[in-house]
Chains A and B, each alone.
Chain A
């Protein structure tokens, strides 16, 4: 895997997703060009309605873009057939969902075996599923049904299911959103371990700024376009034209500005003893953010480097 370290597992060019809504066209995604390297640990961030889920669905091959190109592990997937797309989901992507999505009537082991049912390689299904359960530390719960497991355990079963076909990418949609503080941390540690030890590319979707503040790379989405709301507003006011025309340099500069402003605010608050109320707190997300901070040793607000912002820059244009 190391020889591919700086190659792109995900490469998109001008992805667009439009939905017809009566006479008008809703632009769910507009001109998204991103690259994600093998072995990256990244988060797609944005408030609800920003288009982050649409982006995740397209990157996860659950949906197709209306326009633009998407290369996954070197394969152009935006135009292939439904069946090939299903096969790619099966082989290359492991999904982890906020609400676990385990089938309630079957055991943990059978849930983990589910992707193998649709896989071309069905040999040793049981053994491989047990191995995956072992990796998430639940080998002794193989025969349990989901309702007999705690939320954290259920999510670990879901991760084992995502791992069973040894995919390139793990896509996790708010993986800690429904968990308590302890489980949230455990799950995030598990994802980090898979990223570090197994070299899996981890792509998370979250709306939680706490996590966004600590992950090595943030891909902000707002209004269907790359960049956070603040970033987009500033650029819009500068350019007075279509925001998407902004250059990479401009974008980077804007992100620096925003980061500096946030630091200033934080210092001010510290000085005045103001504790800002955080809205929409998820215990699981908070502890997950701690886990990420511990693992990657960064908090991209407090340490003041421009590194995360830099990484968020679209690397390929056209």
Chain B
């Protein structure tokens, strides 16, 4: 195709779209809605997915979670995960370290009288260190402090700031009271990290698990709802480690193989996978809905192009009479429908991006943790969508364009 021909096709398509402003506009609306909803859904959806991934990636990939009970099957006479269970698991050669994972929700009162509901996690020293947490101020609690059940507490930002507004360095050295016991803040971790999903909505802190058992009401010294074991991946895979631990626990709980266990072993990887399955299912579902709107838009294009072809039968006949081949007519009409949908696609892209950013701005206003969701503008997605819009015009323009190209010049000229 020569340059002259291309520029001619372009200006012709432009002229024809312009000549039927109202009609073209209505057709465009369909494409704009379709493309912009696809872009919005993908940008915001990818943003949510990135956010969730980011939240979950704090979990160390070598962590295995052992929790009592079995959610999938009803079991009787459930035994809890006991200290004995934990000690034996901790003694396994492939387990680097382990930690109980206790959780209590308590009201903390600061020296200045401010109160804050805290989700307090009881870990061993290794539990925090191996859990992918990033210390930003102060220090972590030591093994000795765990052994002595010292009343020390570490927080995850922004807890310290909420309790002690304006305080720098994570309020290290400050004191807070929980259940009438005074704890000293010794360190602050960056939000995120192990078990800290949706840190913005909740306030996380951690004390030595021994302190929790000893000093907090409701603490149980002999049983853990949940525990963590960190597998040495240089010795065996996390999956193999899970199997071995299951064997140990079945023996200890006296449950023969084949019977449902009264505990569950999961990995952080598995949890990440589960969450991403959920988010991508949502994404696919929403994209499907958007795709339907695009399909409707495409039928709109096809419809309008069929009308155009019928209206311009004479023109087609004339073009053929002066020497246009079938292919010339086909290309002309494909060009026109591609132009129409590409134009709509570009507008849709713009409105889609605006909507994405508008939506995240809206989410930021809602707060409650949603403020961390950022629309992810993926250039690949944008390029694909725009390319798709043009391709779309060609696909849905094909039927009308073929109809046009196959018109007999004689019949076309005869039409009044």
Residues of chain A touching chain B, judged by Cβ–Cβ distance below 8 Å, are: 57, 60, 62-63, 82-83, 86-87, 89-91, 95, 97, 101, 103, 105-106, 114-115, 117-119, 122, 125, 161, 165
Contact = CB atoms under 8 A, between A and B. Distances in A.
B313 to A, nearest CB: 12
Nearest to B321: A95
Contacts of B322: 89-90, 95, 114-115, 118, 161
B325 A103 contact: no
Nearest to B19: A105
Nearest to A161: B322
Contact of A86 (B8, B16, B325, B410): B325
A62 B323 CA distance: 10
Contact of A83 (B4, B19, B319, B325): B325
A91 B325 CA distance: 13
Contacts, number: 65
B167 interface: no
B326 A90 contact: no
Interface in B1-41: 2, 4-5, 8, 15-16, 19
Contact of A57 (B318, B324, B410): B410
Given A115-B323, A118-B328, A161-B322, A105 B15 contact: yes
Most buried by B among A87, A105, A106, A119: A105
A125 B408 contact: no
Contacts of A125: 4
A118 B19 contact: no
A91 B323 CA distance: 8
B409 interface: yes
B413 A117 contact: no
B315 interface: yes
Contacts of B315: 103
B325 A82 contact: yes
Q: Report, nearest first, the 6 A-B pairs whose CB atoms are least far apart.
A: A90-B323, A118-B323, A115-B322, A86-B325, A62-B409, A101-B318
Nearest to B322: A115
Given A63-B408, A103-B318, A105-B16, A122 B326 contact: no
Interface of B: 2, 4-5, 8, 15-16, 19, 314-315, 318-328, 408-410, 413
A119 B2 contact: no
A138 to B, nearest CB: 18
Given A57-B410, A101-B413, A119 B16 contact: no
A97 B8 CA distance: 25
20 contacts: A60-B321, A62-B413, A63-B408, A82-B325, A82-B326, A86-B320, A86-B324, A87-B323, A90-B322, A91-B323, A95-B322, A97-B413, A101-B318, A101-B413, A105-B16, A114-B319, A118-B323, A118-B325, A122-B2, A161-B322
A217 B177 CA distance: 118
A83 B327 CA distance: 9
Contacts of B318: 97, 101, 103, 114
Contacts of B15: 105-106
A275 B394 CA distance: 64
B320 to A, nearest CB: 7
Nearest to B2: A122
A59 to B, nearest CB: 12
A165 B328 CA distance: 18
Contact of A117 (B5, B19, B320): B5
Contacts of B320: 62, 86, 89
A118 B325 CA distance: 8
A57 B321 CA distance: 10
B290 to A, nearest CB: 35
B324 A122 contact: no
B8 A117 contact: yes
Given A63-B408, A83-B327, A122-B4, 6 more contacts: A89-B323, A90-B323, A105-B15, A118-B319, A118-B323, A122-B2
